Structure 1
Amino acid sequence: MTDQAGVAAAWDRVEEWLSRNAPSDYVALRPPAEAGEIEEITEYRFDLHPDVATLLRRHDGSGQGTGGFFLPGDFCLYSAAQMRDGQRGMERSVAWSLEGEGVAQFTVRQGVTMSGDDETPFDAEDVGLALVPFDAHVKWVPIGRTASGDELVVDHREGDAYGSVRVIASGMTEAAPVWWDSVADMLQSTVTALETMSPLTSVWGGRMFPETAEVPGGGTVLHWELA
C-alpha cells in the first residue's frame, strides 16, 4: 500500500501538534534528506517504498537525544543513513543465520524447510509467518527505534504485506508483527490520538496514552504511557 498524499497530510498535522505541545520533539526533527542519501538506502536492490521516501524528503529522521522519540511506543525516526545501515544489517543477519547450524529451524521457503540438499514439507498452518530469521529480512527497511533498541521496519516484500510497518523486539520467538498497514496509517493513527488525547492499541494488545513531560533544563517532550 502507498499513500504519499496521506503521509504528507498527516505529517503536517504531526508537526503542528509537536510545535505547540512538545517543542523539544519538534526541534529534534532534522532537515530534509538529500536525494542521493535516500537512493542509497536500498541502492538498487529493490525500490524504496514511496511513503518512506516522502518521510525523508520532509525530515531526515529525528534527533535521538532529549527529544525525537515521539512516535507511539516512544520510537524515534531514523535518518536515511541509519535506514541504509539497518537494511545492510538485515542482510548480514540473514546471511549469518544461513551459514550457521540448525538452518532448518529458521528457513521457510514456500512451505518447505531447507537443510543441506534435503527438503522437508510443512503445512502452512505449522510454519505460519516464520522468516529467516524471525527478526530480519533482506526486504525489511528499519525506519526507527526506541531507546532500548526495539525497531520499526517497513516491509518491502511484494504482496499484502507491502508497505506495512512491523515491530522488532528483543527476545522474539515469532515473526515481527504488523502494527500498521502503512506509514500513512501509522502517522494518521498517531496524530488522531494526539489531537484527541485518546489511547492507541499497541502491537502487543495493551493501550498507550499520549502524555507530555517536562525535561531537565527546560522543554517538553511527548511520551506514550502504557496502561
Structure 2
Amino acid sequence: MQLRSILADFDVWLAAHAPGDHRQLMPPADPTRAAALAAGRFRIHEDVLTWLSVHDGSQRDPVPAAGAFIPRDFPLLGVTGMSQGLAGMVEEVERAVEEGDEEFIVGLEADERWLPVAMNHTGGQLVVDHRPDGEYGAVLELDPSIGLNGVKRWDSMSHMFISVLEALQTGSALMTGSGPKAVPRIEEPADALPHVVWDLHFG
C-alpha cells in the first residue's frame, strides 16, 4: 500500500476517534521548501516528501502533547522543524569533530545524514536514515538522555504509519526503542478533545 493511501486512512481514523490529534495536522508543505530542506546534502527519501505533501507536521498548537500520536509521544515535524533539526545534527557533528569526539558521537548521537522527522517533549527524536552505509529510509530513534543511540524502529516511514495505524485500530502493543511496550488508548479530558496516549508496559 502506498504511503499516500496509508496517510488518508490514518487521517480518517484520527478524525473519527482522536479529533484532538486530527486537528493538529497541518496542511501540505510548500513543495519547493520540502525539496530543498536537505540543502543538497543527500537525496530525501520519498516517504518524507510524501508526508510533507500531505501534512506539514502534526503540531498546530505549540504545546507538548499536541499531535503526539506516534509512540513514545512524538509529534511529527514539518519542513521548518526538519530543517532546524538537521541543522542541529550538522552542528553537533562539527562540534564532535572539532573536539576529537567523533567516534563517540557520529552515527550514535548525531549524524549529518539523519533527518529528524519527529521530536518529543523530552528531547527524543525519530530520524530517517540517509547515510550511504546505513539503511536508506529507515526510521531510527535516539535519546542520549537514556542511552538510546540510533536504534532502528521501522524500515521506513510507510512501515511506521502502517504499524501505528494497526495498533490504534486494534489497541495492540508496539515495542519502543528503549524496551517497554507502548499500548494506545484514547484519553477524553473534560477540557479538551479526545486524543491518543500511549501507556508503557514493562516486562
Normalising by structure 1, what TM-score?
0.81
Give 5+ residue unaligned stretches, structure 2. Answer: none
Give 1:131 shift.
5.3
Matched with 2:108 is 134
* Equivalent residue letter for 2:149: A
Matched with 1:77 is 76
The answer to whether the 8 Å contact 1:33/1:80 transfers is yes
CA RMSD of aligned residues (A): 1.8
Question: Structure 1 CA distance, aligned partners of 2:79 and 2:137?
Answer: 17
1:176 counterpart SS class: strand
Matched with 1:31 is 27
Question: Structure 1 CA distance, aligned partners of 2:174 and 2:121?
Answer: 20
2:117 counterpart SS class: strand
The answer to whether the 8 Å contact 1:135/1:172 transfers is no
Q: Which one of 157, 164, 169 corresponds to residue 131 of structure 2?
A: 157
Matched with 2:195 is 221
Matched with 1:199 is 173
Question: Structure 2 CA distance, aligned partners of 1:218 and 1:90?
Answer: 35
User: What are the equivalent positions in structure 2 for 1:55-134 lying under 5 Å apart?
Assistant: 55-63=51-59, 64-65=62-63, 67-100=66-99, 103=100, 106-107=102-103, 132=106, 134=108
Question: Structure 1 CA distance, aligned partners of 2:45 and 2:6?
Answer: 17
Asked which structure has the greater CA Rg, the reply is 1
CA change 1:146–1:216 in 2 (3 A) is farther
2:110 counterpart SS class: coil
Count of matched residue positions in the alignment of Structure 1 and Structure 2: 198
Give 5+ residue unaligned stretches, structure 1. Answer: 108-129
Question: Structure 1 CA distance, aligned partners of 2:118 and 2:192?
Answer: 25
Matched with 1:45 is 41
Q: Which one of 141, 145, 162 corresponds to residue 188 of structure 1?
A: 162
1:60-100 CA distance string (max 9 Å, x none):
00114353111121100011011011111111000001111
Question: Structure 1 CA distance, aligned partners of 2:107 and 2:175?
Answer: 26
* Equivalent residue letter for 2:15: S
CA change 1:192–1:133 in 2 (3 A) is closer
Question: Structure 2 CA distance, aligned partners of 1:171 and 1:58?
Answer: 32
1:51 counterpart SS class: helix
Give 1:6 shift.
2.6
Matched with 2:4 is 8
Give 1:17 shift.
1.0
CA change 1:94–1:216 in 2 (3 A) is farther
* Equivalent residue letter for 2:179: G
Give 1:215 shift.
3.3
